[in-house]
A and B are shown apart, each in its own frame.
Chain A
Amino acid sequence: MDLCPSVKNILLLDSEGKRIAVKYYSDDWPTNSAKEAFEKAVFTKTQKTNARTEVEIAMFESNIVVYKFVQDLHFYVTGGEDENEVFLATVLQGFFDAVDILLRGNVDKKEALENLDLILLCIDGIVDGGIVLEGDANSIASKVASHSIDSGAPFSEQTISQALATAREHLTRSLLK
């Protein structure tokens, strides 16, 4: 076992404790049912607490869980019992802020599911195999978002109908807001 600060999992759940996106980096929960049981336990225990302004913290089966809620989304980061609590909170804050940037401030379940690709890339960009790759929310978000600008750029590669579809979608989105 090395001494490197590490993360055991990152969870993004909805207001009923269902998965939006989760990623595990440790073998503590070998099966999907073990993972689900952990998520359920964490969710039930933290549900009633107020983690909307500050990052909150709890101990769990000799793990430390830090968490923050916004709208109907619950963000969690788990580490071992000897892990630096402040470090875990920093990772969580990075994740949380990056999602906020990527969803342009509309942080709720609907937006998250519609942009699940961004969320998954975001998680992938924060931690690799338990080790923090990037902690700063702006850097995380810019790496993930680089393509949303790019994909629009090479119009030559898109067919007319695709371009139209994209345009229509943009229009409906702006109307819905």
Chain B
Amino acid sequence: MAQPLVKKDDDRDDEVDYSPFLGIEKGAVLQEARVFNDPQLDTRRCSQVITKLLYLLNQGETLTKVEATEVFFAVTKLFQSKDIGLRRMVYLMIKELSPSADEVIIVTSSLMKDMNSRTDMYRANAIRVLCRITDGTLLTQIERYLKQAIVDKSPVVASAALVSGIHLLQTNPEIVKRWSNEVQEAVQSRAALVQFHALALLHQIRQNDRLAVNKLVTSLTKGSIRSPLAQCLLIRYTSQVIRESGVNPQTGDRPFYDYLEGCLRHKAEMVIYEAAKAITELSNVTARELTPAITVLQLFLSSSKPVLRFAAVRTLNKVAMTHPMAVTNCNIDMESLISDQNRSIATLAITTLLKTGNESSVDRLMKQITNFMSDIADEFKIVVVEAIRSLCLKFPLKYRSLMNFLSNILREEGGFEYKKAIVDSIVILIRDIPDAKESGLLHLCEFIEDCEFTYLSTQILHFLGNEGPKTSDPSKYIRYIYNRVILENATVRASAVSTLAKFGALVDPLKPRIFVLLRRCLFDNDDEVRDRATLYLNTLGDGSVTETDKAVKEFLFGSLDIPLTNLETSLKNYLRDPAEEPFDLYSVPKEVKSQSFAEKKAPSKKPTGLSAQPAAPTSAPDAYERLLSSIPEFASFGKLFKSSAPVELTEAETEYAVNVVKHIFDRHVVFQYNCTNTIPEQCLENVTVIVDASEAEEFAEVGTKPLKSLPYDTPAQTFVAFEKPEGVPAVGKFSNVLRFTVKEVDPSTGEAEDDGVEDEYQLEDFEVVAADYILKLGVSNFKNAWENMDPASERVDEYGLGPRESLAEAVNAVIILLGMHPCEGTEVVPSNSRSHTCLLSGVYIGNVKVLVRLSFGIDGTKEVAMKLAVRSEDESVSEAIHEIVASG
């Protein structure tokens, strides 16, 4: 377009001469608003002033409370005018001002008059305005009119009333629910949009009544829905019903699937797409069910409309994550999308292809991507890099071309996030594909020669220190590392020193040269660099080439098996309140706070009304430890090993709500009973729990801590402590009775009477199980951790788990039984797979690390067999794990 030149002039002229709002100023407009008060109204002028006010508000200007009130009162005067246009601007202005309750009264009568007007536009808009600004009391007054309006023969009026109903349902549900007869009638309306609005409102009124929703869907799916929008809505309701009802176990058929499939032949694209999307999102969807949906999406891929192409490729991309095979038919269409003008579409196409591609197509694909990478933004590139990483893990034989690709893009321009994604990918490939190690490390070395990001340089240096010495020719990395000491900033220099030391520790032939280099670092101008050099020179034996000590190796390479966030909190606590004795690393809790992880993994789909789950209680090991150590009776028990999640001992909504948290110590167990009194007329005193441990032979009660007083609705705790054999995972069953003194409370004064009555309340039993003695503790690289464990500690055995519902259910049951941390996402079982390997890690009581490798298989009769391999730092613990499984 040859516009730019002309446009420049245009802009200048336009904005200086013609913009009707040039130089507009709030004060002046408010002055102008006085024309609203003229006895002889100039409707044109008034309209213009309102437009100016709306313009100002739209630009982000705000009115003070006083100004808003003034404008509001002035605007109400305009109801005198009969001009339709002006009236509509008045409606708009009132909605925009959102007047307060006492102001609303002023316009109510005018609006109610309009609601009964003969002009459809008045009725419809007056309803919308009134419902927007009204409160509950006023609503009951106008309810009659609204019910009428819902079944009004003018679609505009009916829609206005229905949509207002949808909004009002949030604030005044009990009133809106009374309209369901009228709404039901409106669902049968011949006007397309009225039907849509009525359906939306009807469903919302009934959404908590599963049966009613089911009936609604059943009757409407038989046909009688007119507008595409209403059809989309019905599809969404239908898939909700499908989600809740599940597959018919006899025939394997899914209710309403035929309806969804029928919608794929609808004439509106909106409906076709909605149905296709709904089918792909069915839980445990089968290949047969998917096929028709994939076929229509495939047609969309070659549409001339970008929106359709985007929608289709985005949906297929999601399908490719779970059913890559189903999408392969679309690969040719998808490849042509790589050159799509819209880069979002192109990126989605590429990542989908990377997910579905087979080994033979990798090279061709990489070629196409290379051309494509140069003209997309960083955020898209990151997506591509991640897709390539998973592709490479899928086809390790292709590492050469994929690694080359990564190293090429690493050399090109890019921001931090992008480079980080590449570096992370290379690191993962090096770890998982042994053949790729040497070339990958060299790529990284080249990268740090010219890397502007300190964070990445230090990460790479650290990694190099761990992996480099184990390669066939470690000496070739030294040059790259020492260059860092000469050329970089202090942070990078310090980590380069550490890396050099690691080479020195592991590769004896290199030692003399490393010492020379480290000694040079003693003259560095940065403290940290000099300190590190000194430290390493001393630990490595200062000049004498000797076999490196095991302790030194442990110091250099040992991983910190403490979650860093926990270490941080512990250090902060220590600094806030410094003690005489030095900080003890072992006092840091090792429990992983998996909360944020769980949140991230939660499906992004917002839970719909019925299926919404209450949020899981937050685990708070720190809080527990603080609480327990504040109780003198328990202070001598030592370090808290693990606290379980709360176990409910009462039904929901009983008089007293009690749950128990099991705290495990080395030689003791403390039960913390969290009690809540839900009766306002009572106050409980001297609350204790009488525990019968006759079915838990190894436990002996050593003390209780009663609760003095338990007023209404204030949770408090009572404790019971048991002794058990040291380091032994003793199990048993405990039955509990809550014993207390009840005192009547006068609810008006809140004072308790003097006399109380002793009473008891039966609680449910709970057990201490083996999993209570295992801490969840993740390892970052299971394979490495596994290989570092002594193979002699390994115990392998096979178990039959009997018939199970599915493989996933069996895997889950074992994870819960062992109470260990699933690593590397192996707790997720792909649907329809016949076998699965699950990796678990944890810490057994006595601070013994345990790793478990579970291999599951399922046969046609749903019999599940499991091979259990355990490695741990202590053979007896490996055996103990087997015992847990054998007895579970």
Q: Which residues in chain B, 725-756, are within 8 Å of chain A measured between CB atoms? A: none
A26 CB–B CB distance under 8 Å: no
A135 CB–B CB distance under 8 Å: yes
Q: Which residues of A contact B86 (CB under 8 A)?
A: 147, 151
A118 CB, nearest partner CB in chain B, Å: 9
Return the contact of A157 from the options B43, B60, B89, B163 (Cβ within 8 A).
Answer: B43
Q: Which residue of A lies closest to B311 (CB)?
A: A85
B12 CB–A CB distance under 8 Å: no
B356 CB–A CB distance under 8 Å: no
Contact between B92 and A120 (Cβ–Cβ < 8 Å)? yes
Contact between B229 and A2 (Cβ–Cβ < 8 Å)? no
Bound Cα distance A31, B648 (Å): 43
A contacts with B: majority SS: mixed
A132 CB–B CB distance under 8 Å: yes
**Among the listed stretches B269-277, B477-485, B563-571, which one makes contact with chain A, having 4 or more residues with CB under 8 Å of it?**
B269-277
Q: Which residues in chain A, 66-95, are within 8 Å of chain B measured between CB atoms? A: 66, 72, 81-82, 84-90
A8 CB–B CB distance under 8 Å: no
Q: Which residues in chain A, 1-48, are within 8 Å of chain B measured between CB atoms? A: 1-5, 15, 19, 21-22, 32, 35-36
B190 CB–A CB distance under 8 Å: no
Known contacts A57-B342, A114-B20, A121-B92; decide if A86 and B273 are in contact (CB<8 Å).
yes
A167 CB–B CB distance under 8 Å: no
Q: Which residues in chain B, 201-218, are within 8 Å of chain A measured between CB atoms? A: 203-204, 207
Bound Cα distance A151, B88 (Å): 12
B 208-239 binary contact with A (CB < 8 Å = 1; else 0)? 00000000000000000000010011001100
Contact between A84 and B237 (Cβ–Cβ < 8 Å)? no
**Among the listed stretches B301-309, B390-398, B663-671, which one makes contact with chain A, having 4 or more residues with CB under 8 Å of it?**
B301-309
Q: Which residues of A contact B166 (CB under 8 A)?
A: 4, 129, 131
Return the contact of A54 from the options B40, B54, B306 (Cβ within 8 A).
Answer: B306
B677 CB–A CB distance under 8 Å: no
Q: Which residues of B contact A1 (CB under 8 A)?
A: 606-609
Contact between A82 and B85 (Cβ–Cβ < 8 Å)? no
B766 CB–A CB distance under 8 Å: no
Contact between A117 and B47 (Cβ–Cβ < 8 Å)? yes
Bound Cα distance A89, B304 (Å): 14
B128 CB–A CB distance under 8 Å: yes
B121 CB–A CB distance under 8 Å: yes
Known contacts A2-B207, A81-B604; decide if A59 and B88 are in contact (CB<8 Å).
no
Known contacts A5-B232, A86-B270; decide if A121 and B88 are in contact (CB<8 Å).
yes
A116 CB–B CB distance under 8 Å: yes
Q: Which residue of A lies closest to B41 (CB)?
A: A157
Q: Which residues of A contact B54 (CB under 8 A)?
A: 116-117, 120
Known contacts A55-B305, A55-B306, A162-B42; decide if A50 and B341 are in contact (CB<8 Å).
yes
Tally of B interface residues using CB under 8 Å: 73
Q: Which residue of A lies closest to B87 (CB)?
A: A147
Q: Which residue of B lies closest to A58 (CB)?
A: B344
Contact between B344 and A32 (Cβ–Cβ < 8 Å)? no
B 656-692 binary contact with A (CB < 8 Å = 1; else 0)? 0000000000000000000000000000000000000
B184 CB–A CB distance under 8 Å: no
B contacts with A: majority SS: helix
Contact between A84 and B232 (Cβ–Cβ < 8 Å)? yes
Q: Which residue of A lies closest to B348 (CB)?
A: A59
Bound Cα distance A19, B233 (Å): 32
Interface centre among A55, A131, A165 (most CB of B within 10 A): A131
B411 CB–A CB distance under 8 Å: no
Known contacts A57-B344, A58-B344, A82-B605; decide if A151 and B84 are in contact (CB<8 Å).
yes
Tally of A interface residues using CB under 8 Å: 60
B83 CB–A CB distance under 8 Å: yes
Bound Cα distance A54, B14 (Å): 27
B98 CB, nearest partner CB in chain A, Å: 13
Q: Which residues of B contact A58 (CB under 8 A)?
A: 342, 344
Q: Which residue of A lies closest to B606 (CB)?
A: A1
A84 CB, nearest partner CB in chain B, Å: 5
B23 CB, nearest partner CB in chain A, Å: 13
A134 CB–B CB distance under 8 Å: yes
Q: Which residues of A contact B605 (CB under 8 A)?
A: 82
Return the contact of B19 from the options A19, A50, A110, A150 (Cβ within 8 A).
Answer: A110
Q: Which residue of B lies closest to A121 (CB)?
A: B88
Bound Cα distance A102, B36 (Å): 27
Bound Cα distance A88, B232 (Å): 13
Contact between A113 and B306 (Cβ–Cβ < 8 Å)? no
Q: Which residues of A contact B7 (CB under 8 A)?
A: 15, 72
Q: Which residues in chain A, 110-153, are within 8 Å of chain B measured between CB atoms? A: 110, 113-114, 116-117, 120-121, 124, 128-129, 131-135, 143, 146-148, 150-151
Bound Cα distance A82, B7 (Å): 39
Q: Which residues of A contact B40 (CB under 8 A)?
A: 159
Q: Which residues of B contact A36 (CB under 8 A)?
A: 60
Question: 6 closest pairs, A vs B, by CB?
Answer: A147-B85, A85-B311, A32-B60, A3-B236, A86-B270, A89-B307
Interface set of A (CB-CB < 8 Å, partner B) = 1-5, 15, 19, 21-22, 32, 35-36, 49-50, 54-59, 62, 66, 72, 81-82, 84-90, 109-110, 113-114, 116-117, 120-121, 124, 128-129, 131-135, 143, 146-148, 150-151, 154, 157, 159, 162, 165-166
Q: A54-B306, A86-B273 are in contact. List 13 more A-B contacts (CB 8 A).
A: A2-B609, A3-B233, A4-B166, A15-B7, A54-B304, A58-B344, A87-B229, A110-B19, A117-B47, A129-B163, A129-B166, A135-B193, A157-B83
